[in-house]
Amino acid sequence: MKLNIGADYDLWCSKVGFLVWEVWKARNLAVHQRTSPNPTVVICKAKLMELEFAKLKEEPEKHSTSMRRSGSRVTWRPPPAGWIKCNVDAAFVETRSAGTTAAVYRDPNGSFLTGINSTIVANSPLAAEALAVREALILSRNFQMEKVIIESDNQTLVQALKSHAPIAAIQVILDDILYLVKGMPNCGFTWAPREANLLAHEVAKLTGQRSLRQNWVTFMQPSIRNILRKDILGISKSANT
C-alpha cells in the first residue's frame, strides 16, 4: 500500500510516534506506580507534542525568511508606551521532573525593572512554562502593575491562554492563571521566538545551573547585562529604520 501524503510524511509519522510514546508512558505508570490510565490525557499529551513538533518544523523557515528580508537578527520588542513587558521562560529536566522558571520585567525603553526566578516541580516542559507565567502574574499583582504584557516563546501555551482553550495535562495551572488575570483587566499575552526571549532564557538557564547570584536583580552577571545591552541596541536600530 502506498501512502500519498507527500510533504506531510514527517507530520504523519510524528502523530503515530507521539501517540505510541504517550501510550507507552501511561502503560509504565500503570504497571510500576499502579495508576489508572486516562485515554483522554494520553491523547492530549500526544497532541501537544505534535503541535510542538509542527511549530518547530515551521519556525526555522519563517525565521530565516524574516532574517533575509530584514537583514538583522530577531530582537526583543518593547511594549507600548505606559506598559510593562514581562518575558518568561522555563528550563525543564525530565529525568528529575523538575525545572526552573524566570520572569523579567522591562519598560518601553528596554530598561530592566525587576525579575524573579525559582526552582519548580513539573511533569513536562509545557507545565514548567505555565508555572513561569503563573509566577509572573503573582509578582505583577503584588507590585500592582496596571498594564502588563506577559510574553513567552511557547506558542501552544500562549494560544491556549488567549483563546481559553483547555489543555488537560496542565488545566489546573491554566485555571490558576485565568483566575489571576480576572483581577488584572489590563494584562495580555503575546508570543515571541526564542531569539527575542533571550533574557528570560538566560536567567532560567543560570538558575538551573545554580550559578545565578541571589542578588542578580541588583548585581547582574555579565551574560545578563550583555543581553540587555543588545536588546536596547536593537530598539534603537528599529527606531532609526
User: So what's the pLDDT on residue 35?
Assistant: 79
Mean of pLDDT over the chain: 86
25-34, 144-153, 167-176, 178-187: least confident range: 25-34
Neighbours of 43 (CB within 10 A): 15
Distance CA 42, CA 101 (A): 26
User: So what's the pLDDT on residue 133?
Assistant: 98
User: So what's the pLDDT on residue 49?
Assistant: 63
Angle, CA 188 vertex, CA 183 and CA 194 arms, to 5°: 135
Comparing 49 with 174, the larger pLDDT belongs to: 174
Position 32 confidence tier, pLDDT thresholds 50, 70, 90: confident
Distance CA 161, CA 146 (A): 19
Distance CA 11, CA 32 (A): 31
Q: Is the pLDDT of residue 68 over 60?
A: no
Q: Among 192, 188, 190, which residue's Cα sits nearest to residue 234?
A: 192
Position 39 confidence tier, pLDDT thresholds 50, 70, 90: confident
Comparing 82 with 71, the larger pLDDT belongs to: 82
User: So what's the pLDDT on residue 10?
Assistant: 57
Q: Which CATH architecture has domain 84-239?
A: 2-Layer Sandwich (3.30)
Q: Is the pLDDT of residue 64 over 70?
A: no
Domain boundaries, the chain: 6-70, 84-239
DSSP-derived letter for residue 147 is S
Comparing 8 with 46, the larger pLDDT belongs to: 46
Using a cut of 0.75, tell me whether the model's pTM lies above it.
Answer: no
Contact between 91 and 67 (Cβ < 8 Å): no
